[in-house]
Structure formats: C-alpha cells, structure tokens
Chains A and B, each alone.
Chain A
C-alpha cells in the first residue's frame, strides 16, 4: 500500500538524519512541521523516487506543494504510473 511505503521511507530518512524517534504520521500532520528541514525533505522525496520509481513533483504540470501527510499521499497516488 502506497501510504505504508511512504511511511517506511519517511522513517528510514528520519533515522539517518535524526537521533530522536520518528513522529507518528497522521492524515493532518504537516510534514515540514515534523522537524525535517528542507534538506531532509529533499532527501525524503529523492528516496521515494528510488523506492517507487517516480517523482510527482517533476511529473506534475501544476505548481502544487502538498502540506499535510494526507495531501502528500494523495499527490503520490494521483501520479502513480499505471501498472
């Protein structure tokens, strides 16, 4: 399931960047208020591209930046390549 894959990549990026345990991601968690800075977030998006094989930020023609975890998952869902 996409949401779980994203959570697991988030946790592994968090573990490599931080010493504290990762935060619980719920639908309305604002990702950039979790303590991950821009560089951490960039690494997260790049790791997701390695894991999932696509980057919706690059594919998307709209200038859209998701804020909450739910919006982020929906953004990846929307641009998921057809299997």
Chain B
C-alpha cells in the first residue's frame, strides 16, 4: 500500500505535523489482552454495590425498574447497535421506523401531539424546553416551580446563562407568573414524588400568555393523567424508567414532546412518514432545516448525536409492557410505596411532612440525620433514600430543614424488602 501511495514509510504520511511535536510519548499503561481487560473491569465492577444486590430505596431522578430480557437482546443486535445516524434512509429503514414508533408511543403516553427523536437526558431535555418556550413567546424570563429537581434547575441555569434569560423560582403552590414570563416550569410528579395540580398551573400560565412546560416521569403516566390532558405546551421527561439501566447516571434518554403548532421550534431530529419513488411507505429524517447541519448558527439547538439506541430500548420496553403491563407496573409502584409510607409513618419519631397524592416517592421526617441513618442502613446492606439536607432548591417546604429523606419504592422492592427497611428505620428512636 505504501508503494501505491508512493511513500517509503507510514511516518512519511505525517510530515505535515511540525517535527518538534511529532510522535510524543503518551505514558499510557501497556496494552492488555481481552482476557486481562475482562478481569480488570470485573474487579472494578466488584467494588460497586449494584441496586439488585440488596434492598434499595434510592430514586430522585434515576429509578430501579424491571427490564425484560428482550430489551437488551434486541437492542444489542449489531444491525441496530452499530448503525450510523439514519441520514441514508434507503439503508436505515429499521432505525427510522423504530424512531417513528418511538415518537408515536411517547406522544400517546404523554398525551401530546408530537415527539422528537430524543434528547440526551431528562435534565437537558427540560433545559431545551425552556429555551424553546423563550423562542416561541419571544420572552426572556422563566418562572420555575420550587419543587423542581435541584439538579434540573442547575442544568437549566447552565443552558440559560449566556442567553440573558432570567430565572425566577416561584412557589409551586402559588406560582408567580407574569406577562413577562415565557413559561412556568413544573415537574410531575415533583422532585418529592407528589403530583402538582397541573390543571390550576396550566390556567395560571396560560392566563399570562406563558407556556406550561412540564418534566414528567413516564412511568407515573402509566396510571396518572398525562400532562397533555391539562393542555401543557411542552412536556419533557427522563426516559430511563422505560427499559434503561440506572448505569451510574447514563446513558439515559431525553423525552421531548409538544403541540403540533410548535414543531418548527423543536430541537433535535424528527422522523416523518413518506413514500418512495415507487409509492411504497418509508420513513425519513424531516424538517431538518431546524437543525445545526443545515441552519448552523440559527439552528433551534446544537444537538446532533443523542440517544437513538435508548429510544429503541424504550420502544421495545413499551411494546413489551403494552397497555396493561405499564399500568400494572405503575400501580405496583404506587401500592408498594404507599404501603411503605404508611408503615414508616407508624414508627415513633417518623412522619410524612408533605400532603397530597404521591406516586412512588415520598418524603419522611426522621428522628436522626439521614446521613447517619443511611450509614446504618448500609451496614445491613440496605441502600436508603436521598438525603434532602444535602442539597437545596430555595424555598420549597421540604428544603432547608434537617432530617428529611426522599424514599423511592418501585415494583423491584418486595414486601420483604420494605418490611426490612421499616424494621431497620424503627431502630432509630
């Protein structure tokens, strides 16, 4: 090959690199064979405590749900796993039809008119929803309910910082939305697991000409009214509960839905149905003039590669669970969480400080610091809840007070797990 090119050595192909910087030492460890690397990685993995290795009650944005075997079996097929972005539709109908299915099922689940092909994760999807609301309304203030995940709030701040968008935290119970507000942002269920009154919040936002932007847990929508039912304008979500492992926080899947009238302001890819030159049905990437590779600095977002493989995973998951399965899983979470909450509330020194309807997460007031409690639980191989004293979001009722913990109970927790947690918590008073 060198002779065909007309050079004497491979090094000759790199002569454009200034000589003083050419061929540096990288100081990397020596290569490993597959056998060795497998051992090394298994060693690292063994130093971690997976959720499945004992009772676990941690949620707060990442959830331990059942994943049927077919999800991994199908998504790891090389034809899906190693395919490129479907810019060549003639040889990408598999990926494109899957995304069309994904757009359809997520739209149905959220009760919304259109869904895009996916975003990075729940936090960035919401941040892009906020930017889109500013584009749609041509306003530059956003009102954010103080029951939003503090991490989601931080990501919104990062995305908005350079665009002169002002962020105002407001009480979810009585939000201040003005004629200057682009949108009211609310999480459903909120960070503490409780359902917000979307009907009222929708009215309050729309009366001021602001959009209602909701970040919703798709699993909760297996049983609760979807945000679309309340006339939400943009609904985003974390798709992780739909067949994606917790995997230390990623890769996850951003869900992004809106109303038909706003599609040209949407970020990210969209797949549409069309016909080929012989009249056969086919699918293509469409409305690409919104996107960075066409519109460059005037694009609706810079997003390019996102999470297509996990859009596939969630589509397989929703297909397998189906109409009845998803509802049943959601109800299992609901009943188990309420069973756990009632048992804990009976313990001396514990109570539930918040009221309303919750799904699978709830806040408990503890007789001791959550950090201490969690350490003691871990001694019994129980992974406790999220320590709410560790992080703060402003003025929400559950923030800024000591000794509050956010617990999550899903279908993965057996009665035995829950009873074990309740009994361990009972030792603390």
Task: Indicate whether A and B interact.
Answer: no
B residues near A (Cβ < 8 Å) are none
A residues near B (Cβ < 8 Å) are none
